[in-house]
Amino acid sequence: MNNSAPLTGDTLDVFSRRLAAASPLHARPITEHGVEASPLPTPDFFDRVAVFHVLIPIRRRPIEMSVADVGDEVVVLGSPDRVDELARTIGLHLESTDDVVEYLRFWCRTALGRSEQLVEGPVDFHWISGVETDAGLRANADRAARLARWVAVRGAVADVYPAAVTVLDQRTLQLRELSVRADGHVEELSRVDLATDVPVPYTMP
């Protein structure tokens, strides 16, 4: 499901109540502050699954999360274990390297920490303003942009796909080697720092 329209009206009210019931930790903030819910892109093979970026607009520190609606339940994402739970709930089975590439883009968006971001090219970086005027910052930015790479996946061996992604963790660009099982479980095998002092904004943990 890739409808880009935010939830509104009765649909949003029903979703909010279901989310509060599924996540007691967030029930009070939801009741007091309400929620905003905008659809996130999902893999084409996620039949009947809608995933939302949810914002609880608390003034001092808003709460943000990714939430999957699988019809009869909602699943709060945000960690590898929670995305594994979603994969089990929908009976995920990845059948090709193209499936794995698409799934890894989704997995990075919904399983990694707030300070981590999949980057595949220059367009995925959000540079600080000084990049336009400072030669040193520009050089660091150009180097990071050159080192970012598309999600790479090799053919499966015994239903396990070797893969590699470039992830920006705060201001460090990393190459992470992964293994991806056909059931969607992702295991990190190694990580190497490719560039430090990448001129992007610091993300609050």
Which residues on adjacent β-strands are paired with residue 75?
A: 68
Q: Say if residue 141's pLDDT is above 50.
A: yes
Determine how many CB atoms are found less than 10 A away from the CB of residue 61.
8
- Annotate 39-83 with DSSP letters as a single string: EPP--TT-TT-EEEEEEE--SSS-EEEEEEE-SS-EEE-SSHHHH
pLDDT band of residue 2 (cuts 50, 70, 90) is low
- The model's pTM: 0.92
pLDDT band of residue 47 (cuts 50, 70, 90) is confident
Express each pLDDT in 50-108 by its tens digit.
999 999 999 888 999 999 999 889 999 999 999 999 999 999 999 999 999 999 999 99
Give backbone dihedrals phi and psi of 13, rounded to 5 degrees, phi first: -60, -45
Closest CA to 191 of 156, 161, 167, 157: 167
- The residue-averaged pLDDT of 150-163 equals 97
Domain borders along the chain are 9-76, 97-195
pLDDT band of residue 23 (cuts 50, 70, 90) is very high
Closest CA to 19 of 61, 63, 58, 60: 63
